[in-house]
Amino acid sequence: MIPQTDPKASYLAHQAEIETAIARVLASGWYILGQEVAAFEQEFADYIGVTAAVGVANGTDALELALRSLDIGPGDAVATVSHTAVATVAAIELVGATPILLDIDPHTYTLDPTHLAQAIQEFPNLRAVIPVHLYGHPAAMPEIMALAEEHQLAVIEDCSQSHGAKLGDRTTGTWGDFAAFSLYPTKNLGAIGDGGVLISNNNVLADRAKSLREYGWKDRYISHEAGLNSRLDEIQAAVLRVKLRHLERDNDCRRAIAQQYTSALGKLSRLHPPAIALSVKHVYHQYVIQCDQRDQFRLFLKNQGIGTGLHYPMPVHQQPAYQHHHTTSLGLPVTESIRPRICSLPMYPQLTNDQVERTILSLKAWGQKS
Ligand SMILES: Cc1ncc(COP(=O)(O)O)c(C=O)c1O
């Protein structure tokens, strides 16, 4: 079976280097927030091109800490998309703010700026927007930033699926007040457990997030404000430093696999490859196609030993926990129309040529079925 994602493959790819890094931490006897975390923070900030990075326990906490550092809480509304991991929306609710769920562009699957403009009209308490660079494709940041600047909205980029993606010469994570990254094992940059990192070009905001990640401490054991416990551990940081050195090459592999899929799909009328906007350097966290008879298609592939995924089976606003959601009068037509049509093909850098070829043969066989 070719799995749709394979965290084990990503660990094994750099096994020797990773084991050396882990041994270094074990020998040091220092396991939480130490030299490895500080070095990872510096190296990650340099890689993205920002001034500060704060290692935290996971991507959801990174979003929550960003919101808290911006003093966003009860009474405030925060706009984001419904077509995302539920974590994006959960973080808004964790600080007591109200999520406003917006529709996406049908080609890039990222926030449609016209829906943000509508939310600004309809929700006077809108304080912030969280664009999600979903699947590794950057959101329309110039348009989103123009609206945010005009209406004094804070911007937190959700980069959990876009480590290294670019729009023009700018890397995702460099536009907003903050950018939050998940470092979950299957991400383009993944730890060997939970992890997250928050970045900013505003050192005052970053220092506040750093204090809030550990009970609001400035001096040990003295809380200046109420914070949380969201620390990155040394083993994860040491592993992430290794993986960061391979990230560009891993992203190149993802792009090469995507290119093979896209050129094969171009000849098949029943399956539709993902679009890519101008000047985008996609990092293909997921390779998501659209098709009719999606469930039959997935079963057909499964019977040929090929695993597929759904990202996501249900948009957030249709999930039982979010029936109370708020949206604009424009509704969520694109989000709802793609729900039964999307399907993620196998995508991780260690996929072999043979595995990609096998998937393509199955896609062609499905394409030829009447
Ligand atoms: C878009 C997006 N946002 C946030 C998160 C939350 O990250 P974590 O699982 O590390 O809390 C994820 C991870 O699945 C994600 O894909």
* pLDDT given at position 188: 98
Of the candidate CATH numbers 3.40.50.720, 3.30.70.1150, 3.90.1150.10, 3.40.140.80, the domain formed by 247-368 belongs to 3.90.1150.10
283: tokens are: 């990092």
How many A from CA of 264 to the centre of ligand 1?
30
Q: Is the minimum distance from the CB of 159 to ligand 1 under 6 angstroms? A: no
Residue 198 CA to residue 182 CA, distance in Å, equals 9
Residue 337 CA to residue 8 CA, distance in Å, equals 34
Q: Is the minimum distance from the CB of 5 to ligand 1 under 6 angstroms? A: no
How many A from CA of 369 to the centre of ligand 1?
37
Residue of the nearest CA to atom 9 in ligand 1? 59
Q: Is the minimum distance from the CB of 60 to ligand 1 under 6 angstroms? A: yes
* pLDDT given at position 370: 58
Weakly modelled stretches of the chain, pLDDT under 70: 370
Q: For every residue of 40-53, which 3-state class applies, written as one string?
A: HHHHHHHHHCCCEE
Of 305, 303, 313, the closest CA to residue 343 belongs to: 313
How many A from CA of 28 to the centre of ligand 1?
30
3-class DSSP state of 328: coil
How many A from CA of 367 to the centre of ligand 1?
33
Q: Is the minimum distance from the CB of 240 to ligand 1 under 6 angstroms? A: no
Q: Is the minimum distance from the CB of 196 to ligand 1 under 6 angstroms? A: yes
Q: Is the minimum distance from the CB of 135 to ligand 1 under 6 angstroms? A: no
* pLDDT given at position 13: 83
In the chain, where the domains are located: 7-102+109-241, 247-368
pLDDT, one tens digit per residue, over 34-78 is 999 999 999 999 999 999 999 999 999 999 999 999 999 999 999
Peptide bond just before 215 cis, omega within 30 deg? no
How many A from CA of 184 to the centre of ligand 1?
8
CB-based burial label for 12 (10 Å; 0-12, 13-18, 19+): exposed
Q: Is the minimum distance from the CB of 87 to ligand 1 under 6 angstroms? A: yes
Q: Residue 29, Cα to own-chain centre: how many angstroms?
A: 32
Q: Is the minimum distance from the CB of 84 to ligand 1 under 6 angstroms? A: yes
Residue of the nearest CA to atom 14 in ligand 1? 85
Q: Is the minimum distance from the CB of 180 to ligand 1 under 6 angstroms? A: no
Residues 6+ apart with CB under 8 A from 342: 288, 289, 290, 294, 310, 311
* pLDDT given at position 301: 98
Which segments of the chain does DSSP mark as H helices, in order?
7-13, 15-28, 35-48, 59-69, 86-94, 113-122, 141-150, 203-212, 234-265, 294-303, 333-338, 353-368
CB-based burial label for 151 (10 Å; 0-12, 13-18, 19+): middle
* pLDDT given at position 7: 82
How many A from CA of 220 to the centre of ligand 1?
30
Q: Which atom of ligand 1 is nearest to the CA of 61?
A: 11
How many A from CA of 85 to the centre of ligand 1?
6
Q: Which atom of ligand 1 is nearest to the CA of 134?
A: 1
Q: Is the minimum distance from the CB of 160 to ligand 1 under 6 angstroms? A: yes
Contact 247, 281 (CB under 8 A): no
How many A from CA of 158 to the centre of ligand 1?
8
Q: Is the minimum distance from the CB of 214 to ligand 1 under 6 angstroms? A: no
Q: Is the minimum distance from the CB of 36 to ligand 1 under 6 angstroms? A: no
To the question of pTM greater than 0.85 for the whole model, the response is yes
Q: Is the minimum distance from the CB of 344 to ligand 1 under 6 angstroms? A: no
Give me the amino acid identity at 236.
Q
Q: Is the minimum distance from the CB of 158 to ligand 1 under 6 angstroms? A: yes
φ, ψ for residue 112, nearest 5 deg: -85, 115
Contact 6, 348 (CB under 8 A): yes
Domains 7-102+109-241 and 247-368 share a fold: no
Q: Is the minimum distance from the CB of 82 to ligand 1 under 6 angstroms? A: no
Please determine, looking at this structure, whether the domain spanning 7-102+109-241 carries the CATH number 3.40.640.10: yes
The DSSP bridge pattern shows strands 178-182 and 196-200 to be antiparallel
Q: Is the minimum distance from the CB of 284 to ligand 1 under 6 angstroms? A: no
φ, ψ for residue 149, nearest 5 deg: -65, -40
